[in-house]
Chain A
Amino acid sequence: DGGITQSPKYLFRKEGQNVTLSCEQNLNHDAMYWYRQDPGQGLRLIYYSQIVNDFQKGDIAEGYSVSREKKESFPLTVTSAQKNPTAFYLCASSILRGKGDEKLFFGSGTQLSVL
């Protein structure tokens, strides 16, 4: 079955540590996205990528980094510069058709907590 796989489901970060969240898709989608979800808040876009080896900052990119070396993979690194990383992180993908009605397909998320 096609879909998006995020791992791990739960992740703990120590002070000063970088951690990487994995996101893999086998939907052959061009676009991939990382969102952050905090309790009581809507989703906020961290980074997105529309093509391999290219990505754009979203609304809250500070303290995060990404790479897109393969179409299927879009890992997110939460760096030590992100002072409040505790949140639920969702990876998504979509086709790029240009009509604006492209729906997002989401993974099951990673809950990141700080020790």
Chain B
Amino acid sequence: AQKITQTQPGMFVQEKEAVTLDCTYDTSDPSYGLFWYKQPSSGEMIFLIYQGSYDQQNATEGRYSLNFQKARKSANLVISASQLGDSAMYFCAMRYYNAGNNRKLIWGLGTSLAVNP
């Protein structure tokens, strides 16, 4: 069965330092995609980065990069040079196709990141 696991309920990082948020996944579907979203206290989810299962290179978007290790089934989010505004919940999600070839998206439970000044 498909599964997304975020093992870190909460993380702290010092401003300007880098931080890695963990995400492991499980799927037997060879074609899948991994997303990271940020949810500030205001509530809306904000897309950060996407990695497809067939992508050869790790995805990067500004200060965000995805450390994609396919054999280990991990897709960790790396935030470089943390800023106070990075304090939020971070969710990992996986897109896969079910037995009926319908596209599905499952979500992890999230990691709360606090950036200390």
Contact = CB atoms under 8 A, between A and B. Distances in A.
Contact of A100 (B103, B106, B107): B103
A42 B91 CA distance: 8
Contact of B45 (A40, A101, A104): A104
B4 interface: yes
**Residue among B43, B91, B103, B110 with max Cβ neighbours from chain A (10 Å):** B43
| Interface footprint category on A | 10 to 19
Interface secondary structure of A, over-half rule = loop
Interface secondary structure of B, over-half rule = strand
A103 B110 CA distance: 18
A109 to B, nearest CB: 4
B108 A42 contact: yes
Interface string A3-32: 000000000000000000000000000000
A100 B52 contact: yes
B90 interface: no
Interface of A: 40-45, 88, 90, 92, 100-101, 103-109
